[in-house]
Every structure is written in structure tokens, then in C-alpha cells.
Structure 1
Amino acid sequence: MNLSLFDVLLSFSGLCLLLLVGTALRQHLGWLRRLGIPEALIAGLLGLLIGPFGPWSVFPEQVYRIWSQAPGVLISLVFATLFLGQRLPSPGVIWNRAAGQTAFGMVLGFGQYLVGGLLVLLVLQPLFGTSPLMAALIEVGFEGGHGTAAGLGPTFRELGFPAGETLGLAMATVGVLTAVLLGSTLVVIGRARQWLARVNRSQQALDTVDPMSAEERLNLERAAGTVDPDAPRSMTIDALTLNVALAGGAVGLGILLKALLTGLAGWFGGPETANLILAIPVFPLAMVGGLIVQVVLQRTGQTGLASPLAQASLGSVAMDLLITAAMASLNLPLLEENWLPFVALAVVGLTWNIAAFLVLAPRIFRDHWFERGIADFGQGTGVTATGLLLLRMADPLGRSRAMEAFSFKQLLFEPFLGGGLVTALSPVLIASWGLPRFSAVALALTLASLVFGLRLGRAR
């Protein structure tokens, strides 16, 4: 079926209309705001009703085809903008401020692979003949989120697991909803049990001298690091065009890197290795491309060319369109066929996250363990915005300084887990290594992260 430019325009218009309706519903329905459900997810669920597998299919087939292919393109743009416009601190500064937070995040992430691998290996495969690639779904859905799940759709299909994208999106939806509900409950319990930091008079005096200002919190929430204070804030069309070009250049570098890796794999490892490299998605390499572009801008003294606000807005637009398109084109029959293994994985993943927060966080974080841990729980179950929401609930005045550590942690964590290189490679590694070996490596990495985190806790 040939696609025309009119089909692309109609598809884009349909997504925009769904986003407008989703925004209006969230503004007028207070319970949606209280749950913290993003507008794009509401729009996607509305699109599911009028999508190809919904009760009311209203668009031509070409539109749904474009919606199903759009996430794989948009996720590369999202990841290309992560480092653009951000002043990259020295490795020492990042490490000193975010080592403990990173260790706990790695325990959560690698542990999700571990419990998922053990469940599939010991229970789901023998009973239901489940694909070993389902072992990656907990981390892909919870840590990675909707964007990562949609971006890995072609990889799952290439590896013979076409249901992977649908199940990953469903896992991400479960993660967003349960992160808010369970996280809010944990905050209430934490206040009742006095797990949250208690403020004494000396602390109150300190807060009056060195409070975290609203502007400082906003800057930390906008970027995973420090924002260049000299970067231009203008949003004229010239500045926006330049920032789009920088992001597009980062994506282009990612494509070139993949072509280079594929060529090297074919040269040294043969056709079979090259086919495995072809299954790797472009988006983590686009993130590397964005990092390269930002480093070049810093080395040449041209950091002002990349606006942090423009890059954040560009990434947000791509992510909102991505989530809406991915949810609207969700393949419900594939979800129905795998509902029992899916439920088992979701329950095990949530159990692991809660247990890690309640048992391990107090031992890894020797100060403000609840505030620091609840931010990672929110991100590791839902999305980064969920972690920030729960942190605001637990520490509305920013006394714990957990926001700073949580933000700097992203520079160490996101390139690997939560949608980074490890997340993108996990289906390929399961297919090439086999699930037993993959689970053993996940066990080793989980234990290593835990030992490292416990040592940091004792040292502090």
C-alpha cells in the first residue's frame, strides 16, 4: 500500500486532535490530574477507541499504518535531544553528587531483568512456552516507558517476537498508573511512620540560610544536569530551526554509527553477527550522536547555539506524539494472547520495586533515604515525571536536596538503563546469549550494584 504526503498530513492532524481532546479532559476531570496521568497517555487511550483494533475505526488504513511506524522514528529524536543544550559537568562532580542515587537505580534496573528472567525461565516457559524475550519487558516497560517500548518494536519483530511492542506498551501503562497509586500510598505511610526527614530547629535555621530556590528546582527538573546559563532563551524561528538542525544532525550521526557497527560486525563476525547488529535500534546511538554534538559545541565555545529550552520542547513534542501514536495503534489481539504471562511479569516487577525501596533504600541512602528512594521508585516504575511528582509530595520544600542528586544521576544512568544502551541491547543479548546466561549476567550486575551501593551507604 503506497503512502502519500496527504496520508502523513492526515495522520499528524489526527494525533494533534487527540492530544487536544486529551488535554481538555485532563483539565476538566480532576481525578485524572490527581492520578498524574499525562495528556499524551489520555490521548493515546482515546486513540485506541478509534484505532484499528478499537470499536470505532474512523481513519483510513494508511493513517493507522503511519501511526504504527511513527514511534520508531520519533524516539530517535527524543533521545537525540537529551544532552543537547546541557552544560556537561566534570565526571568528578557528577560522581560525587549522584553515585548513591545511580547505584540504587542500577539495583532496580538490573534487578528487573533478573526477576523477569527467572520468572520466564523457571515458570512461564515450562508452563506456557513463553518467548524468552519477555524477560526484558519489565525493564523496557517500567524503566524505559512508552517511548522505549515503541522504539524497540522493530527489534522485537526482527527477533521473532512481534508481540513485544504491544506488551511493552501495556507494561509501561501499568507502570505509570501503579507508580502514582503505590507511590502516593508509600508517601502517606512514610509520613505516618516518620520515615520522612524530620525538621528540627537547627535544620529550619539552615533552610533559611541555604534553601533550594524555586528557580533552582525548576532548572534541575528541566535537565539531567546543569543548564548553560549563557545559552540564548530566544524562541524565534531562526533559533528553533537551528536547534531542529542540531537534533537532526545528532540522529544522522546515530544512523552513521549504526552503519559503521554493522559494517564492522559483518567484516569481523560474518553475516550472522551483522544481522544481530541490524536489530539494534537507532535511538540509543542517536543519544550518543547528541552527546558528540554537545561536546563539539563545548570544545569550540559555541554552546549558545543549542538552547536547552528549545531542545527540551522538541523532545517533549516528539514524546507526546510518540505516546499518542503508539497507544492508538496498540495491537490488542496480541495482548489478549499473552495476558497471563503479562500479568505475572507485572506483579513480579512491582513486587521487586517495592521490596527494593523498603529494604534496600534505607541501607544505600544514609541520609534522607525515603526522599531519595521514592524518586527512583517513581522513575523505575513509571516515568521520570512520576519520580519528580512523588519527590515533591515527600519533600515539597526541597530540604533533602534529593532533587539535585536525582537530576545528576540521569547523566550516569540514562545512557545505559531506562532506555539507554543496555535497554536497547537486552532483546538482542537474550537472543544471542540465551536466557540462562542473560539471567546469570543480570544476577551478577544486580549483586555488584548492591554491594557498591551498600559500601557507599556505610562510607557516608
Structure 2
Amino acid sequence: MGLKLFDVLVAFAGLSLLLLAGMALRQRLRWLRALGIPEALVAGLLGLLVGPFGPWSVFPDAVYRVWSQTPGVLISLVFATLFLGQQLPSPKVIWNRAAGQTAFGMVLGFGQYLVGALLVLAVLQPLFGTDPLMAALIEVGFEGGHGTAAGMGPTFTELGLPSGETLGLAMATVGVLTAVLLGSTLVVIGRSRHWLSRGDSEAGSSASATPLMRTGDGDPMSADERLALETAAGTVESDQAESMTIDALTVNVALAGGAVGLGILLKAGLTQLGGLTGGEGTAKLLAAIPVFPLAMVGGLIVQILLQRSRQTRLVSPVAQASIGSLAMDLLITAAMASLNLPLLEENWLPFALLAAAGLTWNVCAFLWLAPRIFSDHWFERGIADFGQGTGVTATGLLLLRMADPFGRSRAMEAFSFKQLLFEPFLGGGLVTALSPLLIVSWGLPRFSVVALLLTLAALLLGLRLGRQRQRS
């Protein structure tokens, strides 16, 4: 039987109740807050208990079908909002402030592909007959997180790995939990060995002690900056009140929806072009590309059009951040609640080995490479990327705040600007979206070689930038 619109309403009500329950539970249990577990993940884990594979299935089957389809839809909305409302600095400014941070993030990301590919090629395929697509799971789960893992589900299924979404979500959950535990341990070790910045704590507290919040996909924003943006948004609404009868939030939702629409058109165009130039096989392969990275491109196009037509007053960065956060919370809750546990059980040993290999790579890269890439404050800069590359952006911010509570290292600035260079490619960007297709079309041996070359290129760039900073 087909789904009815009322089923969508009931599914939304169920997700809302789970989010409220997750929020209440996190407020009551201090250890959840200490681990930095987001409310949406708590809600999703609660949803497992009442989900289709949990002990207490309380909703109709139609609701569970809506939940299973929700992540692949909402992730496009999350990525569509990333550039909307953002006034980007010049490329030169971004590069000067974030080049080293970006190089280290690229080393982590491409290295995760390399480690996964080598492990599958040398161990998991010969012993367990593991699907080559599982080589992409470390980066999808660790760098990408729950949203990316859920959004990549249809791609994995289309390419022959139906358990890909479940395994990716499980990998993301492992990453969030271990990022805080391992990261906190590293901060304690770093403090005992005097790896952290030292100086007068009060001198830096006045400039950097403002609480951090998230925008879009987790970019840091101080409370003062958010207040200024809210004030500006309120001014815009006031100025336009006489000439516009439509609500400002409606306009921002429409702009985000337009960005998603452009992403859908781009995918259709790429698929058709691939069919004309490469035949039916190429078209089928391109059809597996997810919409969400193209929706991000659509958002960038919409923002450029607004700037050139001088209509940027129509878009509010605060509203876009709220739209993205809403979509992210709902999709994480829905994805975890509809997690297919039997598929995870079938692949638990290869999954465990991949997770252990990914964690080992991240820790080793942080301890050995970060001191060589960063000429100053290597621990603070590296721990932020370790947190993001293992868990989520908020985890990186949490670990950075633990290591540098007064902002003496100025790592926050570099970490913030790094997102503009990093996110369009890894952690849910174009490389993440294309990696399963490349594994299928190239084969795992060739993919491993390319991952090795990209990792070495990022490493050499980082080392060169580090030496230049030391000389200057």
C-alpha cells in the first residue's frame, strides 16, 4: 500500500515526541551531557526501542516507512542551507588563515579512505568476502557523521550494498562516542606533558570566553555574533513589513527549497549527459549520485544570484541555520530509530575491524602528524580536527574548548575558516558522495592508489606550510 500524507504527519509527531524525550533524558543524565551526546542521537537511540526492529513497535508500518525515507530527503535540505546567507571572505583571506588546518583535515579524510581500502583489500575481502564498498564507511561515518551516512544510504543500496546505511550510521555512532572519550583522554595527557598553550589565562579570557553556538552544519558562531545577526534579521523584517506580506521564515524556506530544486536539476542534467556520452551504464552509475552535495552547489548558486541582484536582505543566516539544524535533528532521529539491526549483525566483525582501524589512524595522525604540520599550538589545532574527523564538528569544538578554554591559540579562527575549504569536498561533500561510485567504476586497487596519492599530497602540502610558518 502507498503512503498517505497523514502517515507523514503521524511520523513527524512521533519524531517530535522522541526529540522531546531525548531532550528531557539528556537534561536528567549528567553523563550524557559530559560525553557531548546530542539530543537527536539520544532521541534516535530511544527510537530504536519503539522502532521496526526494537522490542516495542508502537507505530504503524507506514510510519516506519516514512522514517526510513526521511534521512535521504532531509540531508539535501541541510546541505542546501550551508552557503545561504553567508558572506564569504576572499579566497586569499581564507587560504592564509586556514591552509594548514585544511591540509591536516584532508590528511585525516583521505587517510580514512586509504586505511579502509587497504584493510578491505588485504584482509576483509580474502577472509570474509567483504563488499569493496565498505572501504568508504570510515570516512562516511567518521568525517561525514549521521546525516551523511543516512543520505548515502540510497547510493549504497543502488550500488549493491543495502546494509551501507546501517553500517554508516553505526560507524558514526561509534565515532561520536569514542571521539569524546579518546579526545578527553588526549587532552588530559597533553596537559600533563605540557603540550597545551601556556600563559596568563585571564589575559585571553576577555576576548574568547563567549559561549560558542553552531550554524549550518556545525560552524562556530559566538553568542554576540548570533545576537547581531538576529538584530539585523529583525531590522530587515521591519524594513520589508510594508512591502511584503509573506513571512521572512517562509522566504528562507523557499530559498532553501529552490537550492534543493537546483540540485535535483543538476543531477538530472549530469545523468542525461552521462547517458549521451557514455551510454546506459554511465547514466545508471551517475543516477546513484546523491542529491545533497548538488543541493549544496545549488545553495551557492542561489547565494551568488542574491548577491549580484542585491537582494541579500531576503536571506537570513540565522533562519538558514535554524532550518538546517531542524532538518539535521529530524533526520538523525529518524535514521537511528529505523536502524536495520539485522544487517548490522551480519557484518559486525568487518565493521568492528574497520572502526578500530579508523580510530587508530586518527589517533596516530594527531600525535605524529599534527606537531609536524602546525608550527604553533599544534595540540589545540589538531585536537579540533581530531574531534571533527572522528565525531562531528560539535565534538571538535568541545575538545578545543577543553584544551583551550580561553582562546589563547586562536585555533578557533583557523578551524572556522577551514570549513569553507573542507566541507565542499570531504565530510559529506563531493568526494564523499562520489567515493562509492569510484570504487565501483575503478575497482578497489586503483581506488587505493588514488587515496594514497591524495593523502601524500595533502601531507606534503601541510608539511610545506608548516615549514613556511616557522621561517616567517
Name 1:366's counterpart in structure 2: 375
Identical-pair percentage: 79
Name 1:222's counterpart in structure 2: 221
Matched letter for residue 70 of structure 1: T
| CA spacing shift, 1:296–1:447, aligned 2, 3 Å | same
- Are the aligned partners of 1:113 and 1:135 in contact in 2 as well (CA < 8 Å)? yes
| CA spacing shift, 1:216–1:355, aligned 2, 3 Å | closer
1:375 to 384, 409, 415: 384
Partners of 1:380 and 1:305 lie apart in 2 by: 34
The Cα shift of 1:214 comes to 2.4
Output the aligned Cα RMSD: 1.9
Partners of 2:172 and 2:72 lie apart in 1 by: 16
- Are the aligned partners of 1:231 and 1:306 in contact in 2 as well (CA < 8 Å)? no
Matched letter for residue 61 of structure 1: D
Name stretches of at least 5 consecutive residues in structure 1 with no aligned partner.
none
The Cα shift of 1:211 comes to 2.9
Partners of 1:126 and 1:417 lie apart in 2 by: 29
Q: What aligned pairs does 1:317-328 form with structure 2 within 5 A after superposition?
A: 317-328=326-337
| CA spacing shift, 1:121–1:88, aligned 2, 3 Å | same
Matched letter for residue 116 of structure 2: G
Name 2:349's counterpart in structure 1: 340
Match of 2:298, SS state, is: helix
Partners of 1:83 and 1:193 lie apart in 2 by: 40
Match of 1:211, SS state, is: helix
- Are the aligned partners of 1:231 and 1:304 in contact in 2 as well (CA < 8 Å)? no
Matched letter for residue 153 of structure 1: G
Cα deviations by residue, 1:56-101 (Å, 9 ceiling, x for unpaired): 1111110100100010000000000001111111111110000000
Q: What aligned pairs does 1:156-171 form with structure 2 within 5 A after superposition?
A: 156-171=156-171
- Are the aligned partners of 1:44 and 1:323 in contact in 2 as well (CA < 8 Å)? yes
Name 1:86's counterpart in structure 2: 86
Match of 2:194, SS state, is: coil
Name 2:267's counterpart in structure 1: 258
The Cα shift of 1:46 comes to 0.5
Cα deviations by residue, 1:142-200 (Å, 9 ceiling, x for unpaired): 00000000001000000010010000000000000000110011111111000001116
- Are the aligned partners of 2:388 and 2:395 in contact in 1 as well (CA < 8 Å)? yes
1:315 aligns with 2:311: no
Q: What aligned pairs does 1:91-240 form with structure 2 within 5 A after superposition?
A: 91-199=91-199, 207=204, 211-212=207-208, 214=210, 221-222=220-221, 231-233=232-234, 238-240=247-249
The Cα shift of 1:218 comes to 7.7
Q: What aligned pairs does 1:279-318 form with structure 2 within 5 A after superposition?
A: 279-318=288-327
Match of 1:222, SS state, is: strand
- Are the aligned partners of 1:183 and 1:378 in contact in 2 as well (CA < 8 Å)? yes
- Are the aligned partners of 1:22 and 1:39 in contact in 2 as well (CA < 8 Å)? yes
The Cα shift of 1:247 comes to 0.2
Q: TM-score, normalised by structure 1?
A: 0.95
Name 1:456's counterpart in structure 2: 465
- Are the aligned partners of 2:113 and 2:135 in contact in 1 as well (CA < 8 Å)? yes
- Are the aligned partners of 1:231 and 1:305 in contact in 2 as well (CA < 8 Å)? no
Q: Which deviates the most, 227-236 or 406-415? A: 227-236
2:443 to 434, 438, 442: 434
Name 2:242's counterpart in structure 1: none
Match of 1:221, SS state, is: strand
1:245 to 246, 249, 254: 254
Name 1:414's counterpart in structure 2: 423
Cα deviations by residue, 1:9-61 (Å, 9 ceiling, x for unpaired): 10000000000000000001111101110000000001011111111111111
Partners of 2:181 and 2:145 lie apart in 1 by: 17
Aligned residues: 454
Partners of 2:364 and 2:235 lie apart in 1 by: 46
Partners of 1:180 and 1:216 lie apart in 2 by: 17
Matched letter for residue 426 of structure 1: S
Matched letter for residue 360 of structure 1: L
Match of 1:189, SS state, is: helix
Matched letter for residue 221 of structure 1: P
Matched letter for residue 145 of structure 1: G
The Cα shift of 1:401 comes to 0.8
Name 1:2's counterpart in structure 2: 2
Q: TM-score, normalised by structure 2?
A: 0.93
Partners of 1:215 and 1:308 lie apart in 2 by: 19
- Are the aligned partners of 1:98 and 1:405 in contact in 2 as well (CA < 8 Å)? yes
Partners of 1:5 and 1:103 lie apart in 2 by: 46
Matched letter for residue 3 of structure 1: L
| CA spacing shift, 1:211–1:141, aligned 2, 3 Å | same
- Are the aligned partners of 2:212 and 2:221 in contact in 1 as well (CA < 8 Å)? no
Name 2:36's counterpart in structure 1: 36
Partners of 1:391 and 1:64 lie apart in 2 by: 38
- Are the aligned partners of 1:377 and 1:387 in contact in 2 as well (CA < 8 Å)? yes
Cα deviations by residue, 1:392-446 (Å, 9 ceiling, x for unpaired): 1111111111111101000000000000000000011101110000010000000
The Cα shift of 1:297 comes to 1.5
- Are the aligned partners of 1:76 and 1:283 in contact in 2 as well (CA < 8 Å)? yes
Cα deviations by residue, 1:256-277 (Å, 9 ceiling, x for unpaired): 1001111111111111101111
Matched letter for residue 77 of structure 2: L
Matched letter for residue 366 of structure 1: S
Partners of 2:370 and 2:23 lie apart in 1 by: 36
The Cα shift of 1:239 comes to 0.8
| CA spacing shift, 1:270–1:312, aligned 2, 3 Å | same
The Cα shift of 1:249 comes to 0.4
Partners of 1:7 and 1:204 lie apart in 2 by: 55
Cα deviations by residue, 1:289-346 (Å, 9 ceiling, x for unpaired): 0011111112222222111110000000000000000000000000000000000000
